[in-house]
Chains A and B, each alone.
Chain A
Amino acid sequence: MRKAMAENSLWRRRAAYRLAHRSKRNVPMAEYSALSLLRNALSGNRDWTPAWRKPDPKPAYDVIIVGGGGHGLATAYYLAKEHGITNVAVIEKGYLGSGNVGRNTTIVRSNYLLPDSIRFYEHSLKLWENLSHDLNYNVMFSQRGMLNLAHTPGQADDFIRRGNAMRHERVDAEWLTPAEIARQVPGLAIGGTARFPVVGGLLQPRGGTARHDAVAWGYARGADRRGVDIIENCEVTGFLRDGDRITGVKTTRGEIRAGKVGVAVAGSTGQVMKLAGVDRLPIESHVLQAFVSESLKPFIHTVVTFGAGHLYISQSDKGGLVFGGDIDGYNTYAQRGNLPVVEEVMSEMVALFPGLARVRLLRSWGGIMDMSMDGSPIITTGPLPGMYLNCGWCYGGFKATPASGWSFAWTIARDEPHRINAAYTLERFHRGAVIDEKGQGATPRLH
């Protein structure tokens, strides 16, 4: 009886909570449904409305987010959804999806070693698992598994240690034998004549891929429908200041004031922060190249990484192989790389899948990575009053998009970090509290 009462009161509290949060959480979002597809098909698909408006900037907002990439759009979305802050502008110098959110290899995973990293990326993975539903936008999140191949017994020990660290934090990790890998990944050079025989592999079954443009578009639409202004083709050329305090931005479309300004510009962090008078940061900008092959029949069913070099490869739903390797390894802001890395990535792919030697490359491109000094990101208040900084994603920012936006929104709304991003400060470098997954030290080209 007492138990029934307790349950009853819990149930009532939950119902009251839902009622109180209904207006904020249940914004009418189901624009896309089987019914709306059918209705629009019957009317010749002429009645679809644009996924986001093209507003002119207002003179002032509560919050401005500089950077309309995945992280900036996600931040605006969660500011509106989780914190009820809807008087927000996202300022983008190009068009949505023109930067790294449309330039990555679409991999999503949380297979890290250090507790701070595991908790952050696992939070992200959990957001990914409900993202299409949350946004009412199909981001094609596919949990096809993330497989790290080990090629030496020492590397296997290292991977198993990482797998155990993940399981400590209740993240899924499994160790596969070469025979199991051979069954799961046909065409892979495993033993016998393999140039780099495989001794095992660490699988995260919940890892996978997502449609990267859809992530930008979905967050953009979700933010827009909640009142956020997304202002494209509007470059920030300076900051408005009152003493030390940042009070807005100067742009190519005029001055815009704001109570708070968040900067989430990835590879352009150095350029944008210089406009605010911050000359030195623990960041170097580097170029990462990525590649897509011609379409093939489906044969790679998971994301596979090569441990004897650095290669990650998956197959898109269109059939193209999507893959990449190391960054070029020198400071650059040019969105293109050099040929030695292209050759290295191709040779690694052929070492792993000898049968791909004659497959043709469809296209390649480069994106600018904000490489931090310990390989981990920065999501923090500051470094100036009225300013908030989100950067240092190295080349792992795509999978972090939901948690980055979620925790950056929290940090902006409450002027303090959430516990999942509390470690990602700027001053960790000055306290020696670096989060260096690989133990490489302050040499960004090695992270």
Chain B
Amino acid sequence: MLITCPYCGPRDVSEFTYQGEAGRTRPDPASTDRAAWDGYVYDRLNPAGEHSEYWQHSGGCRAHLLVKRNTLTHEIASVAFAREDQRIHSAGRRGKGARP
């Protein structure tokens, strides 16, 4: 499996560290909604087909990447910088307007 890093170009999967499902939104740290926390920590979509996931190019430029990959074929549809993914910002940060 090759992942095309936006900085470094196509590199072997062994240079990357898998960081799991993308788009899980952390509840506001002040939140006491147990179901929301449980869902955030433990529950996964685990789809058979297209999967949005984070990888870090830990053996290269160290950028965090948002990868769209098919879990049935290992085919990669797109790779982007994770910082461009709006979903990574937690509800807390978004609520306080610290980052857009």
Contact = CB atoms under 8 A, between A and B. Distances in A.
A280 B74 contact: no
Contacts of B84: none
Contact of B39 (A270, A280, A329): A280
A271 B48 CA distance: 6
B41 to A, nearest CB: 5
Interface in B4-63: 12-14, 18, 20-21, 34-35, 38-39, 41-48, 51, 53
Nearest to B16: A330
A405 B84 CA distance: 47
A332 B71 contact: yes
Is the contact region of chain A dominated by helix, strand, or loop, or is it mixed? mixed
B12 A340 contact: yes
B42 A338 contact: no
Interface residues of A, number: 24
A33 interface: no
Contacts of A442: 41-42
Contacts of B43: 280-282
A334 B1 CA distance: 13
Contacts of B98: none
Contacts of A330: 13, 18, 53, 69
Contacts of B13: 330, 338, 340
Contact of A284 (B14, B35, B44, B74): B44
B51 A430 contact: no
B18 A333 contact: no
Nearest to B2: A338
B14 A283 contact: no
A338 B39 CA distance: 30
Contacts of B69: 330
A334 B74 contact: yes
A42 B21 CA distance: 61
Contact of B46 (A285, A329, A334, A340): A285
Nearest to A344: B14
A285 B44 CA distance: 10
A334 B73 contact: yes
Contact of A430 (B34, B71, B72): B34
A445 interface: yes
B10 to A, nearest CB: 14
Top 7 nearest A-B pairs (CB, nearest first) are A340-B14, A270-B46, A280-B43, A429-B42, A282-B42, A330-B18, A333-B48
14 contacts: A270-B45, A270-B47, A280-B39, A281-B46, A282-B42, A284-B21, A285-B48, A330-B18, A330-B53, A330-B69, A331-B20, A332-B71, A334-B74, A340-B12
Interface of A: 270-271, 274, 279-285, 329-334, 338, 340, 373, 429-430, 442-443, 445
Interface of B: 1, 12-14, 18, 20-21, 34-35, 38-39, 41-48, 51, 53, 69, 71-74
Given A331-B20, A430-B35, A445-B18, 7 more contacts: A279-B45, A280-B43, A282-B44, A330-B13, A334-B74, A340-B13, A445-B20
